[in-house]
Amino acid sequence: MNQQGRPTKPGDAIAIAPKTFTGNRALRIEEALIFEIGRLEVTGVDLDEPAAFAPRLGDLERKDPIGLPGLAEPEAVRHYVRLSRMNYGIDTGVFPLGSCTMKHNPRLNEKMARLPGFGDIHPLQPQSTVPGATALIAELSRWLCELTGMPAVALSPKAGAHGELCGMMAIKAALAARGEARSVVLVPESAHGTNPATAALLGYRVEAVPARPDGSVDPEEVRKHLSSDVAAIMLTNPNTCGLFESDVVAIAEAVHAVGAYFYADGANFNAIVGKVRPGDLGVDAMHINLHKTFSTPHGGGGPGAGPVVLSAALAPFAPLPHVTVNAQGVRLVEHAGEAGDAKPFGRMCAFHGQMGMFVRAMSYMLAHGADGMRQASEDAVLNANYVRAGLRDLMSLPFGDRPCMHEVLFDDHWLEGTGVSTLDFAKAMIDEGYHPMTMYFPLVVHGAMLIEPTESESKASLDLFIAALRDLAMAAKRGDTARFSGAPYYAPRRRLDETRAARSPVLRWMRPAAQKEAAE
Ligand SMILES: *Cc1c(COP(=O)(O)O)cnc(C)c1O
């Protein structure tokens, strides 16, 4: 409390704040679910009964009335606007989630994606009617190949993980074409969970390669795991500890020496665009998350886009459809029969991928140019190192005090004995108005906190972020545990039971009566 008896700390405020009648807090309005506020007898639109038709869903079709909640237009507008204001995004504040590259989506990209020639076309339109769209696909392919130093790209995968699946399917097809059925995929311990999941989904046995004490992968360790049964290694560079794998070329050579392929997880490409070409490092396949590196929106799991660049050895196996450019112009190859000598392994999705994301990524690339994209990578790395330098005296760095790439990894060593955990610290960040950093990933580090500011943040916004984290870190160290144990104090919902939410999520709303019946 200050001298006037006003709260100065979050704990004080909570202790004295009266409960409001409405449950609202100042102008932040508590919002119930639409099913709870909507009434069945109120409706905004009257739809005619559909003509009789034969359902084709077998036993799955709905037998009860649909029961849509009815709201008047202003109520519906308020409901969704209030919900949208509870959301936190890169447009509201710093979003330092490591590995996710939450960067600003320039509004120019949005404008381009809405041009009618791109926005209003349909994937089943005849090719002759969409020459602009096919030209854009070809041009984006050219830029991605140029930036990565790779000869081919498959654009259709719809996310990074989907791209991994695509690249690994190309590898599987290439091995099959050689008459080989290898069964092992090597994955470093620090890998993103999607890497082993992708390999396992394709029936491979995953072998983990331990990291060196400095967080990097040791080519000697890789050699120990190599054999004629290894199909590929999946390696992220820069890796998920925010460090550049400096032995990547030796690793690629060792992998190729036993006839295996090198899959690079390119999710961290934002750190090296214009600086390093993965093709020069011996990469055979690499996905690029357009929604990370090239600033297209992360849409809550979709729509993203995860194009995969492919080496000459894998290019013939690229999935359909793809674009070819020759003297006759740009052509979309949709069927295996038109693919010449190529042996596409199949398709990743019905059509060509996320056209809207292609337009946004192309817009970003053309707006920045080659030098601008290199500058963006340099600034992303500079910003992460600025955060590292601003916090390293208070928070502990697991791999020593050396420069990082585009993200900086702290562990929880510095919290030992404070009674505050990584989770508590992250929750207290919410009270300060920051989305927490990535926590407990990568798994190779105890209590990991992975911070990726991206190039979007200005020096002023980084200074405030660092100051807020310093204030929290000092509070933890001087034993102010109340600030953490009950956090978040100010969020619309307090601390949730995350384990229960993950283990037994309730994904379906039931009318209270039905809920009672179900319980009985
Ligand atoms: C984000 C990410 C992925 C997965 O990409 P999605 O687009 O989310 O499917 C894979 N690997 C790493 C290292 C990532 O950061």
- Whether the CB of 267 sits within 6 Å of ligand 1: yes
Q: Which amino acid is at 445?
A: V
Residues belonging to the chain: 520
Determine contact, residues 112/363, Cβ cutoff 8 Å.
yes
- Whether the CB of 160 sits within 6 Å of ligand 1: yes
**Helix (H/G/I), strand (E/B), else coil: 322:** strand
CA-to-CA distance for 348 and 154, rounded, in angstroms? Answer: 10
Reading the block at residue 304, the tokens are 């993203």
Ligand 1 pocket, mutate which of 100, 162, 189, 289 (most atoms under 8 A from CB): 289
Distances 334 to 81, 156, 171, 340, 359 between C-alpha atoms, Å: 42, 12, 21, 12, 20
CA-to-CA distance for 409 and 397, rounded, in angstroms? Answer: 7
Reading the block at residue 238, the tokens are 């820069």
- Whether the CB of 161 sits within 6 Å of ligand 1: yes
Which CATH fold topology does 375-503 show? Aspartate Aminotransferase, domain 1 (3.90.1150)
- Whether the CB of 159 sits within 6 Å of ligand 1: yes
Q: Which amino acid is at 390?
A: G
Q: Kindly give the number of the ligand 1 atom that is closest to the alpha carbon of 240.
A: 13
What single DSSP character describes residue 30? P
Q: Could you list the pLDDT tens digit for every one of the 520 residues in the chain?
A: 667 766 555 555 566 667 888 888 888 888 889 988 888 777 667 778 888 888 888 888 888 877 788 888 899 999 999 998 888 899 999 999 999 999 999 999 999 999 999 999 999 999 899 999 999 999 999 999 999 999 999 999 999 999 999 999 999 999 999 999 999 999 999 999 999 999 999 999 999 999 898 889 999 999 999 999 999 999 999 999 999 999 999 999 999 999 999 999 999 999 999 999 999 999 999 999 999 999 998 865 457 899 999 999 999 999 999 888 888 888 888 888 887 888 999 999 999 999 999 999 999 999 999 999 999 999 999 999 999 999 999 999 999 889 999 999 999 999 999 999 999 999 999 999 999 999 999 999 999 999 999 999 999 999 999 999 999 999 999 999 999 999 999 888 888 888 888 999 988 888 777 666 766 6
CA-to-CA distance for 489 and 505, rounded, in angstroms? Answer: 23
Nearest partner of 68 among 90, 96, 41, judged by Cα: 41
For residue 44, what pLDDT is reported? Answer: 66
- Whether the CB of 236 sits within 6 Å of ligand 1: yes
CA 195 to centroid of ligand 1, rounded, Å? 9
For residue 515, what pLDDT is reported? Answer: 64
- Whether the CB of 242 sits within 6 Å of ligand 1: no
CA 103 to centroid of ligand 1, rounded, Å? 15
CA 493 to centroid of ligand 1, rounded, Å? 28
Q: Kindly give the number of the ligand 1 atom that is closest to the alpha carbon of 265.
A: 11
- Whether the CB of 266 sits within 6 Å of ligand 1: no
CA 438 to centroid of ligand 1, rounded, Å? 13
For ligand 1, atom 8: residue with the closest CA = 160
Following CA atoms 278, 279, 284, 288 in sequence, which dihedral angle do they give, to the nearest 10 degrees? 50
Angle (CA) 180-209-400 rounded to 5° is: 150
CA 159 to centroid of ligand 1, rounded, Å? 8
Looking at the DSSP bridge assignments, the partners of residue 320 are 347
Sole residue written with tokens 């961290």 = 268
- Whether the CB of 192 sits within 6 Å of ligand 1: yes
For residue 304, what pLDDT is reported? Answer: 87
For ligand 1, atom 14: residue with the closest CA = 267
**Helix (H/G/I), strand (E/B), else coil: 9:** coil
Nearest partner of 357 among 160, 97, 131, judged by Cα: 160
Q: Kindly give the number of the ligand 1 atom that is closest to the alpha carbon of 99.
A: 15
For residue 499, what pLDDT is reported? Answer: 87
For residue 512, what pLDDT is reported? Answer: 75
Distances 68 to 34, 38, 64 between C-alpha atoms, Å: 9, 8, 12
Rg of the Cα atoms in the chain:
26
Strands 322-326 and 449-451, by their bridges, are unpaired
Reading the block at residue 139, the tokens are 């041009």
For residue 401, what pLDDT is reported? Answer: 86
CA-to-CA distance for 144 and 485, rounded, in angstroms? Answer: 47
Q: Kindly report the CATH class assigned to 109-364.
A: alpha beta
- Whether the CB of 190 sits within 6 Å of ligand 1: no
Sole residue written with tokens 């392929």 = 261
Determine contact, residues 236/407, Cβ cutoff 8 Å.
no
Task: Report the largest interatomic distance among the alpha carbons of the chain, rounded to a whole angstrom.
Answer: 82
Other C-beta atoms lying within 10 Å of the C-beta of residue 456: 20
Q: Kindly give the number of the ligand 1 atom that is closest to the alpha carbon of 159.
A: 7
Reading the block at residue 150, the tokens are 């790779």
Determine contact, residues 309/144, Cβ cutoff 8 Å.
yes
Nearest partner of 190 among 484, 409, 481, 14, judged by Cα: 409
CA 7 to centroid of ligand 1, rounded, Å? 42
Looking at the DSSP bridge assignments, the partners of residue 26 are none
For residue 12, what pLDDT is reported? Answer: 57
Reading the block at residue 135, the tokens are 């030209």
Reading the block at residue 448, the tokens are 């990991």
Domain residue limits, the chain: 33-45+66-87, 109-364, 375-503
For residue 77, what pLDDT is reported? Answer: 94
Determine contact, residues 270/293, Cβ cutoff 8 Å.
yes
For residue 338, what pLDDT is reported? Answer: 82
